[in-house]
């Protein structure tokens, strides 16, 4: 037998199958990771066996053997091998890069190991009573009462126990165990264990399924019908607080009862202990979690529990879509509109897209859930490509929170210079007086967005990046939010020397300071990138607020998701415009999503919620739709704009970024790249008999952030109409890029996550 092996080296020259002989007595299957001799020096190299074959055209003299397997079981399932082949094709990446996504990174090179604990038991054949008697003095007093207790305990359990478990029953028993081992009364063995990322949380009371509301029941029935057919994609559009999670959990329970398994994807930021608790209490130990806070050991153990069939449900962030479950029958992507489901590094996969492929390979059902579906997804729901399931109301018919729009222009004209408008100021005062909690949302960290000289117009910019630096008052420095560089605060303008420097714009630190100034004695927590850098900071700050140790939570978009805090009755959005004018065709969609999510944090229990949105453009339709909780209205407006302007989903963007230390040759490079790309795409379109106008736009230009960390950046941006010829044009672009590839040229990005 021969193994067809992909070597674990990411290089285009070796990204193909090599044949190795499987020596007698070595059990190797497709999916095994193996060590093989590779290259001229026969270096021991890791690889993935993707197939077996009974014949080979390699000369037997040149044939080398598989040296060993890395794990006793195949690390990859048959389905995952098929998935990797598909990804290499769909995302134009190396096969080995696709394969690497399928296992925990630390498994490569054997950097994580199974953990064993020391366990002991009574020597087989030993008589507990006789051994205890041997400990007694002539007078019948035990010389070693601890040892006697250990013998008793092990006699009762009759099996292996870990030292830690014994000491939980008999404090300080370690010495007694050692003595008994020495005497041969006990026997020792190492036992494989799985590190449990839930740890102390396991005491969660079992959660019972709730009786579904009629709308939930209809959604559940729709999903179950698809599960029966073993095919289909459902879009579960349900307003915030409409009970989507309950529908997910009951659908999963149904699938498990039928012998199937499920994956639930949620955005990293909403993988809070509370959210995981809900699943753990419903499904017990048959749940695995995968998120970025796991240690490599915990991640490896969760992966192994999944691979070895010990779990029915996997809940995790983006990469959990690759979880090695067999018998997959349901994949849920919650908050499907979240940009974080798209990988920003190669392979640039979209988790929902991979989920759709896995669903197909498994005969499983894909459920996309959101209160604010992306316009592309909702379009498919309306057209019938996806089955649209709707939860139009909050649970218990709780009203949506009342949203009040405040015009900051008139506030300014009436002489209010603070960042709290009069309505927000009075609402905050009432909320605090009533002992309730408030959330203040500010989409920018730091204190002021930029420092500008009112005398000469000088703006302090990062010397390495083409962006203004942000003033951080607490630390007393200027920071670049692109590269992290810090600089001192100038006391006079470095350009004209006059003391006219003024701080413009608002950040989270300034909100915190003004809160303290206007409402002295109010306790607040601030959550942004600066306060949540350490491992558990995010969770600790959040729990402080949840335990009501702070009355106000101030934060960036990281607070917008998944919080369910009953005592929050007021949400204030300090500046709704900050995201509306970002130069990206999705800025309207992102603003609507963010405002809806933030507003959804208010009034989740029996108290009504109040939301105040401050803005300089109260007449903007997107802000109006968000204030009225009108997603269908927003969708109709947005899709009409996209159609008129030919933006996705009616078109797609294709981008190559070029970067280098000197601007002029880079600009020339970008022009050459654009010309070559244009020719490649035009030729492909002509060959497919397409209208040349399908290439809507193609241009080389400086990137919106032209300099970053000392490197100049130019981009070649193409826009293609979405037609049946698009795939041919993309293939041509990839072929052109493969032939061109040189230092400083990025991959091809299709509909890049941000346009900067
Ligand atoms: P969503 O995910 O749509 O924002 P959740 O699933 O978090 O909503 O549900 C909101 C609240 O309603 C939760 O506290 C949940 O326990 C409760 N809930 C959900 N379904 C029901 C039901 N059928 N009966 C009673 N309470 C429910
Ligand atoms: Zn910088």
Q: Which parts of 232-297 are beta strand (E)?
A: 233-238, 261-265, 287-290
The CATH label, of 3.40.1440.60, 1.10.260.40, 3.60.20.30, 3.40.140.10, for the domain at 2-110 is 3.40.1440.60
- Residue 512: predicted pLDDT: 92
Q: Do domains 214-395 and 402-449+505-644 have the same CATH topology?
A: yes
pTM: 0.86
**What's the 469 CA to ligand 2 centre distance in angstroms?**
8
What is the model's pLDDT at position 201?
46
402-449+505-644: CATH class: alpha beta
What pLDDT, in 10s, does the model give residues 154-194? 888 777 888 888 888 888 888 899 899 898 888 887 777 77
The pLDDT value recorded for residue 198 is 63
Compute, in angstroms, the gap from residue 480 CA to the centroid of ligand 2.
5
Question: Which of 249, 315, 395 maximizes ligand 1 atoms within 8 Å of its Cβ, making it the mutation to test the pocket?
Answer: 395
Distance CA 491, CA 505 (A): 19
Q: Where are the domains of the chain?
A: 2-110, 214-395, 402-449+505-644, 651-750
Residue nearest ligand 1's atom 5 by CA? 243
Give the position, in ligand 1's atom list, of the atom nearest the Cα of 248. 6
Ligand nearest to the CA of 400: 1
Q: Are 598 and 442 in contact (CB under 8 A)?
A: no
* pLDDT score for 304: 93
Which residues, listed in sequence order, are joined to residue 117 by a DSSP beta bridge?
191
Assess whether the C-beta atom of 605 lies below 6 angstroms from ligand 1.
no
Largest Cα–Cα distance of the chain, in whole Å?
A: 105
Q: Nearest residue CA, atom 15 of ligand 1?
A: 243
Q: Which atom of ligand 1 is nearest to the CA of 211?
A: 23
- Determine if ligand 1 sits within 6 Å of the CB of residue 751: no
Distance 712 CA to ligand 2 centre (A): 12
Kindly state the DSSP code that residue 142 receives in the 8-state scheme.
Answer: B
CB atoms within 10 A of CB 24: 7
Can you tell me which atom of ligand 1 is nearest the CA of 238? Answer: 3
Q: Which residues of the chain have pLDDT under 70?
A: 196-205, 561-563, 604-605, 756
Q: What CATH number has the domain spanning 651-750?
A: 3.30.70
Give the pLDDT score at 112.
81
> Which residues touch 741 (CB under 8 Å, ≥6 apart)?
none
Q: pLDDT tens-digit profile of 657-676?
A: 999 999 999 999 999 999 99
Closest C-alpha to ligand 1, atom 24: 210
Q: Taking a C-beta distance cutoff of 8 angstroms, is the pair 37, 7 a contact?
A: no
What is the atom index within ligand 1 of the atom nearest the CA of 239? 3
- Separation of CA 213 and ligand 1 centre (Å): 10
Per-residue confidence (pLDDT) for residue 533, from 0 to 100: 81
- Rounded Cα distance between 268 and 340, Å, is 8
> In whole angstroms, what is the distance from residue 745 CA to residue 756 CA?
16
User: What is the CATH T-level fold of the domain 214-395, as seen in this structure?
Assistant: Rossmann fold (3.40.50)
Edge-to-edge strand list for the sheet holding 2-7: 18-21, 2-7, 43-53, 33-38, 68-69
Residues 6+ apart with CB under 8 A from 657: 703, 713, 714, 715, 745, 746, 749
What is the Å distance from ligand 1's center to 118 Cα?
A: 44
Report CA(511)–ligand 1 centroid distance (Å): 32
Residue 243 Cβ < 6 Å to ligand 1:
yes
Best of 246, 270, 272 to mutate for ligand 1, by most ligand atoms within 8 A of CB?
A: 246
Closest ligand 1 atom to 395 CA: 12
Residue 591 Cβ < 6 Å to ligand 1: no
């Amino acid at each position: 037998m021969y193994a067809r092996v992909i070597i674990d080296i990411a290089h285009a020259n070796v990204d193909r199958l090599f044949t190795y002989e499987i020596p007698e007595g070595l059990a190797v299957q497709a999916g095994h990771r193996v060590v093989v001799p590779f290259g001229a020096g026969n270096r021991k190299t890791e690889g993935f066996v993707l197939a077996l074959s009974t014949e080979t055209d390699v000369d037997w003299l040149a044939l080398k053997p598989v040296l060993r397997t890395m794990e006793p079981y195949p690390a990859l399932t048959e389905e995952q091998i098929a998935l990797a082949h598909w990804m290499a094709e769909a995302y134009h990446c190396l096969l080995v890069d696709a394969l690497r996504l399928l296992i925990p990174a630390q498994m490569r090179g054997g950097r994580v190991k199974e953990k064993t604990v020391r366990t002991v038991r009574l020597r087989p054949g030993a008589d507990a009573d006789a051994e205890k008697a041997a400990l007694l003095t002539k007078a019948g007093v035990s010389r070693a009462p601890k040892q006697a207790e250990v013998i008793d305990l092990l006699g009762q359990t009759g099996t292996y126990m870990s030292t830690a478990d014994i000491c939980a029953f008999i404090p300080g028993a370690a010495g007694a165990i050692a003595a008994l081992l020495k005497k041969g009364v006990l026997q020792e063995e190492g036992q494989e264990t799985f590190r449990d990322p839930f740890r102390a949380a396991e005491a969660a009371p079992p959660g019972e399924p709730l009786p579904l509301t009629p709308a939930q029941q209809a959604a559940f029935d729709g999903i179950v019908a698809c599960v029966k057919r073993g095919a289909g994609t459902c879009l579960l559009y349900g307003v915030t607080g409409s009970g989507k999670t309950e529908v997910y959990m009951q659908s999963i329970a149904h699938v498990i009862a039928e012998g199937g398994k499920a994956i639930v994807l949620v955005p990293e930021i909403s993988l809070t202990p509370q959210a995981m608790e809900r699943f753990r209490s419903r499904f017990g130990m048959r749940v695995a979690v995968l998120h970025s806070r796991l240690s490599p050991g915990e991640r490896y153990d969760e992966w192994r529990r999944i691979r070895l069939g010990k779990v029915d449900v996997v809940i995790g962030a983006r990469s959990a879509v690759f979880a090695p479950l067999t018998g997959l029958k349901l994949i849920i992507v919650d908050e499907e509109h979240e940009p974080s489901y798209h990988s920003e590094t190669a392979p640039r996969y979209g988790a929902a897209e991979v989920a759709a492929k896995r669903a197909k390979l498994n005969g499983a059902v894909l459920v996309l859930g959101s209160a604010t579906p992306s316009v592309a997804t909702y379009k498919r729901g309306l057209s019938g490509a996806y089955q649209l399931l709707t939860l139009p109301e909050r649970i218990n018919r709780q009203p949506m929170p009342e949203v009040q729009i405040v015009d900051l222009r008139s506030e300014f004209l009436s002489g209010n210079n603070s960042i709290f408008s009069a309505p927000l100021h009075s609402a905050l005062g009432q909320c605090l007086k009533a002992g309730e909690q408030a959330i203040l949302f500010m989409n920018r960290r730091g204190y002021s967005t930029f420092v500008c000289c009112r005398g000469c117009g000088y703006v302090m910019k990062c010397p390495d990046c083409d962006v203004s630096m942000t003033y951080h008052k607490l630390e007393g420095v200027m920071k670049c939010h692109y590269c992290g560089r810090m600089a001192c605060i100038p006391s006079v303008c470095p350009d004209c020397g006059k003391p006219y420097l003024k701080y413009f714009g608002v950040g989270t630190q300034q909100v915190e300071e003004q809160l303290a100034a206007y409402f002295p004695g109010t306790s607040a927590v601030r959550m942004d990138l600066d306060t949540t850098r350490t491992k558990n900071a995010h969770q600790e700050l959040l729990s402080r607020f949840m335990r009501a140790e702070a009355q106000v939570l101030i934060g960036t978009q990281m607070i917008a998701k998944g919080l369910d805090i009953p005592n929050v009755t007021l949400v204030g959005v300090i500046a709704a415009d900050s995201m509306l004018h970002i130069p990206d065709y999705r800025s309207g969609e992102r603003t609507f999503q963010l405002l809806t999510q933030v507003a959804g944090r208010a009034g989740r229990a029996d108290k009504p919620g109040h939301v105040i949105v401050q803005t300089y453009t109260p007449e903007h339709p997107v802000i109006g739709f968000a204030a009225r909780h009108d997603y269908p209205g927003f969708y109709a407006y947005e899709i009409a704009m996209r159609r008129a302007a030919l933006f996705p989903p009616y078109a797609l963007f294709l981008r190559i970024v070029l970067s280098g230390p000197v601007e002029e040759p880079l600009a020339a490079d970008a022009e050459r790249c654009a010309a070559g790309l244009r020719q490649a795409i035009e030729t492909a379109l002509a060959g497919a008999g397409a209208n040349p106008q399908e290439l809507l736009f193609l241009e080389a230009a400086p990137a919106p952030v032209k300099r970053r960390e000392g490197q100049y950046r130019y981009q070649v941006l193409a826009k293609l109409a979405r037609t049946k010829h698009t795939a041919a044009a993309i293939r041509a672009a990839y072929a052109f890029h493969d032939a061109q590839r040189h230092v400083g040229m990025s991959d091809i990005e299709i509909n890049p996550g941000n346009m900067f």
